[in-house]
Amino acid sequence: MALHWQPFESFEDIERIKKRSQEVPCLIFKHSDRCNISAIAQYRLEDDWDFGPGEMEAYFLDVLKFRPVSLKVAETFQVHHESPQVLLIMDGACIYDASHLDITLAELREGLTA
């Protein structure tokens, strides 16, 4: 299955994702295009992605372009700000987060069932 990133660029997107997560799990990927580890994490997510339509939605947040939004995400979901980082959002709350090379699809699946 192909991973289709949805853009995440504004404070309003935080509330939109919280609301959407009431219906479907939402993944936020905080990424820096200046970081090799971030590129590796992105590649691994895209290469291993096997979620079907309606199983999970993926949102891409460029932490360099949208730094204030990225910091607000950390505050809103009560996680330490890192990059790269994934946050798994369900029912309006972060149920799982990982950073750097701990970002794997297997871990995301475990986060869904925890």
pLDDT tens digits, 49-108: 999 888 999 999 999 999 999 999 999 999 988 889 999 999 999 999 999 888 988 888
- Structural domain spans, the chain: 5-113
CB atoms < 10 A from the CB of 1, how many?
Answer: 10
For residue 23, what are its two tokens?
A: 């219906």
Q: Is 112 helix (H, G, I), strand (E, B) or coil?
A: helix
Are the CB atoms for 16 and 28 separated by under 8 Å?
A: no
CATH fold group of domain 5-113: Glutaredoxin (3.40.30)
pLDDT of residue 81: 87
